[in-house]
Copies of this chain bind each other. A is one copy, B any other.
């Protein structure tokens, strides 16, 4: 296999190959095929013909090199296995593909080191824009690299969450209001001790939900019990199971209702509840975040706080595309969409029997 200067037959044809065939300069050939500059219809026709014969396809890398743009958007999300994120990814892809852009998808698993590594590699790839669900919540914790990368080196939109102190536009939904409404719903049903299964407290999305939860309690004169809020650290099914299990072990002031802060955590919670032989909603009311196709088919159909995930993704992508294609600065928007409480059957009025199953006395 000689790596000689001669055109390797393995290589796809280049503009030069086409140019030689039609006996024109690469410049003219490029103009015919690339759709830029002036070109006579006749020669254009000839070039197109030759290109087809050679099965020529322009090299986007070379073009990107010259134009200094890649028509690629980087997507940094928690985990594409979470329907909330896959919906955001799909929405983004749908949106940017209209502009001829592609997406590179990266998963952080909510790990700041992974996020940093991905951000770095996406920068090296010179993506034209970035949509990220950041794992860090505070610019003091943000590494220098991330700080002067997001929004400065490359147009960036945050989704679902933000990093405080960094001026980057964001599209998310009103977690505090959603949690307030969910908590209020439980309070109206007579629940006073409401456990919270958090994925990772430090995410501003989670934080907002906890804030809304506390505010709802305080607004009816109840002081939030911090011990009812258990951080799973892990944001997946396993974490949800562990946190719920932990919460159910306590002997005093057991919760009569649970807030599971995402749609993976709730599966873990359901597993733990089943194992403890607690019936939903008779023994335990349950609300989770993010609606999904099957939520209505579960036993019982789940009461959820729904987030407009598709809209979050498409709005973020639209913002980004506008800024990129018009070569303007991103507007410093903080879009906050509404969350919607969908009451199904996993929540019910508190019954006097709650908690007695395991012999615990409610003391308050």
**Chain A residues within 8 Å of B, Cβ to Cβ:** 11-12, 55, 57-62, 64-65, 68, 70, 72, 79-81, 83, 86-87, 89-90, 93-94, 97, 100, 102-107, 120-126, 148, 153, 237, 264, 267, 270, 293-294, 297-299
Shortest Cβ gap from A280 to chain B (Å): 10
Contact across chains for B102 and A57 when beta carbons are under 8 A apart: no
Q: How far is the CA of A57 from the CA of B298 in the complex (A)?
A: 49
**How many whole Å from A64's CB to the nearest CB in chain B?**
6
Chain B residues lying within 8 Å of A267, measured Cβ to Cβ, are 293-294, 297
Chain B residues, Cβ within 8 Å of A293: 237, 264, 267
Task: Write the chain B residue with the least CB distance to A292.
Answer: B294
Minimum CB–CB distance for A307 against chain B, Å: 15
Q: In the complex, how many angstroms separate the beta carbon of A76 from the nearest chain B beta carbon?
A: 11
In the bound complex, CA of A59 to CA of B36 (Å): 26
Q: Are B102 and A104 in contact (CB under 8 A)?
A: yes
Provide the bound-state CA to CA distance between A121 and B72, in Å.
12
Q: Which residues of B contact A294 (CB under 8 A)?
A: 267, 294, 298
Chain B residues within an 8 Å CB radius of A123:
57
Nearest opposing residue in chain B for A153, CB measure: B12
Complex contact B126–A105 (CB within 8 A): no
A298 to B302, CA, bound (A): 11
**What's the Cα separation between A237 and B60 when bound, in Å?**
37
A93–B79 CB distance below 8 A: no
* Residue of A79, A83, A102, A123 ringed by the most chain B CB atoms within 10 A: A102
